[in-house]
Structure 1
Amino acid sequence: MKKGYVQIYTGDGKGKTTAALGLGLRAVGNGFKVIMVQFLKSAHTSELESVKELGNQFEIKQIAGHKKFFWQLTQEEKEAYKEKVQQAFETVNEMVQSGAYDVFILDEILGAIKNEMITIEQVQTLMQMKPESMEMVLTGRDAPQALIESADLVTEMKMIRHYYEQGVQSRKGIEY
């Protein structure tokens, strides 16, 4: 790929991670090497199994995950978690600079910003230092305006209706 762009998938609707996975799958089909780094996620999900079938062309790494949702953490746990995310973010910086990937997906990085685990400025710096030929995708709710203005493409998933509202829980193979 000669020129890579920065994309953001945001909004309150379902499908941000799924859209990023679809882009990654398409990229692998064209011979590109893809990595998805998942922030704030630590549970086993079906996509972890799916990408194993693609060999080393598509990797998913869950970094700094926690067994609880962020809002369930005590203040002390939040501080320790923030430290862990900051350390993991340094590794992400090195991975981006390595040039080893054609597509770099930062899944739920916007949630890490919203929860004040990393800063908008850190992410803007990461976007600026990506290799020219790398496509970068950021996902999560509540994209900050500064990142929206820095990105090349922004898609908002808007929830209009969701079966969660009728009490339907996450379903294996569909939501995870």
Structure 2
Amino acid sequence: MGKLTKGCIQVYTGDGKGKTTAAIGQGVRAAGNELRVYMVQFLKGSETGELKSIEKLDPYFKIFRFEKKRGFFWTLSDEEKAELKKEIEEAFEFCKKVLKNKECDVLILDEIMGVLHNKLLSVEEVVEFLKSKPEDMEIILTGRNVPKEIMEIADLVTEMKEIKHYFEKGVPARKGIEF
């Protein structure tokens, strides 16, 4: 722990594929250098290939999820949305505790922009959280539609831009590639 002297805030955004994949790649690189990586996945309840792969990198890389499996946000009832909001608040509290106690070197908040877009947390809360980042911790955020307040505080912003996608040719999401 604490092998980083200067931690930055990275954002992977855009409408293209690869935001979570880039964050995981960065996490794998960090874990390979014996940095401790925590990834908190928001708005993801389904089984994905990375869960099994990352298990093999324990104790250096761990994934945390707080939500039960559900459909897409726009398909949820008001009751399910309220339940989801509570789970996300619990996950965010976990993130705050991790930050405060410096439990890892790299903290990934996967799909946090989707949480903000759906107003499950406020932009102000996340900006406040980022401002409390320890000097020697890296934070990586993923998701579309980055609020300008987060863009301004970030040290690196990479936009994944879709030029062409095989979904347009009717290729469905494939196990091992998209999940």
Fold in common (TM above 0.5)? yes
SS at match of 2:23: helix
Select which of 130, 140, 163 maps to 1:160.
163
- Residues 100-136 of structure 1 show CA distances to partners (whole Å, capped at 9, x for unaligned) of 1000000000000000000111111111112110000
Cα deviation for residue 29 of structure 1 reads 1.3
**Residue type of the partner of 2:66?**
I
Q: What SS is found at the alignment partner of 1:110?
A: helix
Q: Which residue type is aligned with residue 24 of structure 1?
A: G
- Which amino acid letter does the alignment assign opposite residue 61 of structure 1? F
Which amino acid letter does the alignment assign opposite residue 48 of structure 1?
L
Partners of 2:52 and 2:109 in 1: how far apart? 18
Q: Which residue of 1 aligns with 2:173?
A: 170
Aligned residue in 2 for 1:120: 123
RMSD over aligned CA atoms reads 1.0
**10-19 or 73-82: which moved more?**
73-82
Instruction: Give the conservation status (yes or no) of the 8 Å contact 1:40–1:63.
Output: no
What CA distance in whole angstroms lies between the structure 2 residues aligned with 1:138 and 1:46? 20
| Farther off after superposition, 26-35 or 74-83 | 74-83
Instruction: Measure, in 2, the Cα distance between the counterparts of 1:94 and 1:84.
Output: 15
1:59 and 2:62 aligned = yes
Same amino acid, percent of matched pairs:
49
Matched letter for residue 120 of structure 1: V
Measure the CA separation in 2 of the matches of 1:169 and 1:34. Answer: 31
TM-score normalised by the chain length of structure 2:
0.95
User: Are 1:111 and 1:140, in contact at CA under 8 Å, matched by a contact in 2?
Assistant: yes
**Number of matched pairs:** 176
Output the amino acid matched with 1:165.
Answer: E
**2:98 aligned to which of 84, 95, 99:** 95
Runs of 4+ more than 6 Å apart: none
Report the CA distance between 1:65 and its aligned residue.
4.3
Farther off after superposition, 126-135 or 73-82: 73-82
Give, as a single letter, the amino acid of the residue that structure 2 aligns with 1:99: K
Distance 2:27 2:62 in 1: 10
